[in-house]
Amino acid sequence: MQNHNYPQGFSRRKFIGTITGAVALALFKMDRQAIAGAAPSNGLVTDYVGRLCYNENPLGPSPLAITAMEVEIPVVHRYPDWYADSLVSKLADHFGVLSGQVVCGAGATEILRLSAMAFTEPGGNIVSPYPSYAQFPSDAQFFGSSVRYADLDDEYRVDLQAVYDLVDEDTTCVCITNANNPTGTLLDSTVLADFVNSLPPEVVTIVDEAYFELLYGIDQHSIFPTANGISAIELVKEGKNVVVIRTFSKAYGLAGARIGYAIGKTSAINSIKANGIYATVSRPSLEAAKAALDDRDHVKDTAILNREAKNYCWSEFIEMDLEYIPSVTNFFMVDVGDGDWVRSQLASQGIYVRSGWGMPAHIRVSTGTMQEMESFISALRQIILPGGNGKRSNRILPATTELFQAYPNPFNSSTSIKIFLPNSQRTSLEIFDIHGRLVKKIIDRVLGSGEYAFVWNGINASGKSVASGSYFYRLTSGDDVITRRMILIR
């Protein structure tokens, strides 16, 4: 491997902030209107226009998948395959691996949780880049492992040398999201292979490839010449200690059906299965996944729309003199100066994006239909470039309660948490650990309308310093409950 020396050294009514792990359910309730807000082109759903925050497929599911689900509805009184054997078999054939090397579950969410149970242990550690997809590190911490975070490189890519430098004799697992989320950057497959080969053989490498089909289309071939690399499934075929996690939520448009899977060496897959329960994937979902796997045209159409949407936005950003991170996925990040404020302003116009990950200047935008992207650009221009004069507009106060991203995040000694209240309300701001236990109550009293900032210095209610790891901060004001995640690194 060249140039590397591894062996050496929304509120409840609107938008919910970043949150991961089982603790989420204990920390907030979500009103159904919180998720309202890109309409699939099949016309079946019309109340999701402007939802550019969850990296969903704006084309919806494959027509073949819809038909498969409809056919299955009359027999939903019967249990599905206990262990999704029919889908496991089809995936094994599709990827050229053994059935014993595949396991399915209720979305990549379940597979990641089961992997954390299988490959982490109290007293051990796992290594993960940051910012990146946070579920596996949070789950690892939940099960007693410590988490070591490696910074991205100057091009917002996973820095594998930095990851390697954090591996020691207590490391049980490394988790890499490729392409990375939220930055949308991709690791070259040969670089990743060299990294895996450099690790101690007992260390498991989790490679989350949730967005892979959007890069490579069907049968692992690149649709576009800019795609670079090969799936880490090839490392599995070579016998490496690698587990690749995939999902039907993104390119296949089945996020609501909850189907994910992992491919790895048989011993690793057996470890994942040992912690699972049976029948977590429904009959309609199983049939939808099998049908979607056959619909090459739908995946290709999705990838083409994704490319067109990104190219349109990027050309507009150049005109607006906004820097963006080139992304190979169905989302991208753009520097808007103040990500939290721009996010709130877009939300007031019915356009929902994300902010956070310790990148306060950026917002992350999912690709939707071309109409949605045009609406997003139009609204963004109004917010930051009034009259096209090249100057940032004056901030307009949000119309709803807001909990902004803690900064800095990750933090070492202290972090500032900013909130905005549109009305006078009894308000509480609380810190919870990964298990949902209250660490400290920052504020609990009536506050007038306006903007407030509170500092948390990593001290609990007893005056003691808390350990490194993930924490959640929850704002409750009137009927609004908003929760976000932050990371303390000592």
What CATH number does residue 446 fall under? Answer: 2.60.40.4070
pLDDT(222) > 80:
no
Average pLDDT over residues 99-118: 97
β-pair type (171-177, 204-208): parallel
Which is higher by pLDDT, 43 or 464?
464
| Residue range 307-329: mean pLDDT, rounded | 96
Is residue 49 domain-shared with residue 104, that is, in the same domain?
no
pTM equals 0.85
One domain, residues 174 and 268? yes
Q: How far is CA 357 from the centre of its chain?
A: 11
Residue 11 falls inside a structural domain: no
- What mean pLDDT is predicted for residues 394-417? 83
User: Are 67 and 210 contained in the same domain?
Assistant: yes
Indicate if the pLDDT at residue 371 is higher than 90: yes
Residues 375 and 480 in one domain: no
At 219, the pLDDT band (50, 70, 90 cuts) reads very low
CATH code: domain of residue 359 = 3.90.1150.10
Given 261, 294, 327, the domain boundary residue is: 294
CATH number of the domain residue 140 falls in: 3.40.640.10
Give me the pLDDT at residue 253, please: 97
pLDDT of residue 385: 72
Residue range(s) defining the domain that contains residue 334: 37-60+298-388
Give me the pLDDT at residue 225, please: 39
Whether pLDDT at 182 is above 80: yes
Comparison of pLDDT for 3 and 95, the residue scoring more: 95
Both 437 and 477 in a single domain? yes
CA 410 – CA 129 distance, rounded (Å): 12
- The domain tally of the chain equals 3
pLDDT for 156-169, tens place per residue? 999 999 999 999 99
Dist. CA 441–CA 459, nearest whole Å: 11
Pair (287, 418) in one structural domain: no
Residue 433 is encoded by which pair of tokens? 């650990």
Is residue 197 domain-resident?
A: yes
pLDDT in tens, 277-303: 989 999 999 999 999 999 999 999 999
Mean pLDDT (the chain) is 87
Q: Which residues contact residue 482 at a Cβ distance below 8 angstroms, ignoring those fewer than 6 apart? A: 10, 11, 12, 16, 17, 28, 401, 402, 403, 474, 475
- Residues 193 and 240: their CA atoms lie apart, in Å, by 9
pLDDT at residue 149, rounded to an integer? 96
Do 172 and 290 share a structural domain? yes
What's the burial of 92, exposed, middle or buried (CB within 10 Å: 0-12/13-18/19+)?
middle
Give residue 331's pLDDT band: very low, low, confident or very high (50, 70, 90). Answer: very high
Q: Is the pLDDT of residue 216 over 90?
A: no
Which of 260, 277, 294 terminates a domain? The answer is: 294
pLDDT surpasses 50 at 479: yes
Residue where one domain finishes, among candidates 294, 328, 355: 294
Same domain, 255 and 137: yes
- Pair 304, 317 in one domain: yes
Cβ neighbors of 259 (< 8 A, separation 6 or more) are 87, 104, 105, 106, 107, 247, 248, 249, 281, 285, 286, 288, 289
User: ∠20-187-127 over CA atoms, to 5°?
Assistant: 45
pLDDT(172) > 50? yes
Pair (190, 78) in one structural domain: yes
Is the pLDDT confidence value at 33 over 70?
no
Residues 6+ apart with CB under 8 A from 464: none
